Amino acid sequence: MPKQKILIVDDDPDLKKGLNLRLRANHYDTVYASDGFSAVMMAQKERPNLIILDIGLPAGDGFVVLERLQKNAALATIPVIVLTARDPQTNKERTLKAGATAFLQKPADNAELLEVISAALDQPPGTMAQS
């Protein structure tokens, strides 16, 4: 089975590096982008199976990215996990409404993050249920 590809979108190089290490250790392929604009470009070019998205980004924040992804039929079905240091109280519902699959606050527990990733990868909308 080919490895699943995850697009990491974060402007903090350390966090990107750490997340990259963690995901590769768990047999995922990773690609990354550091701003909102290149996030959408990368999504289009790489067609990842999942996107991990920060909110505070240069050149189009996470909400803008979600909006652009939703507008593009080919990208709208890619599950997006929002991973941000921001307050869930004011951001969680907003991101879910904007089309995100899940919201996690940094620092997210590794086990929880991996669980959310595999759940989201398991059932992208539009595919048949496997249960």
Partner 1 sequence: MNSGRTNVLLIEDNAGDADLLRLRLLEGGSQVDVSCVDRLSSALAFVAQQPPAVVVLDLTLPDSHGPETFRRLHEQAPSVPVVILTAVDDEEIAVKAVQLGAQDYLLKGQVDGKQLARSIRYAVERQALLTSLETSRQQQLQFKDEFLSHVSHEMRTPLTSIYQFASILCDGLAGAVSAEQRDHLGTILKSVSQLQAMIHDLLEATRTQSGKVRIESHGMGVAEIIQQAITLLRNSAQQKQISLELEVDRSLPLAYADGDRVLQVLINLLGNAIKFTSEGGAIVAKACLVEIDPVFIYISVSDTGRGISPEAKPSIFERMYQAPEAQDTSRTGLGLGLYIAKELVELHGGRIWVNSQLGEGSTFTFTLPRFSLDKLLGPLITHQGLLRESLVLIQVEISSVLSTSTFRRKATSLRCREILQRCIYPDRDLVLPGLRNGVPDEIFFIVASTTLEFAEIMMTRIREQLVSSPELKTSGVFKVSASSLKLPSVEGEVQLEKLVLQVAEHVTAIVKLALRKPQNSNQISNPKPVDGRTEKRRMHAKAKNSDRRR
Where on the chain is the footprint of partner 1 (CB under 8 A)?
12, 14-15, 18-19, 21-22, 25, 70, 76-77, 79, 85-87, 89, 93, 96-97, 99-102, 105-107, 110, 116, 119-120, 122-123, 125-131
**From CA 83, how far away is CA 71, in angstroms rounded?**
21
**From CA 76, how far away is CA 52, in angstroms rounded?**
14
Closest CB 70 distance from partner 1, rounded Å:
6
Closest CB 64 distance from partner 1, rounded Å:
16
Map residue 61 onto helix, strand or coil: coil
Instruction: Look up residue 67 and give its two tokens.
Output: 């909006």
Closest CB 101 distance from partner 1, rounded Å:
5
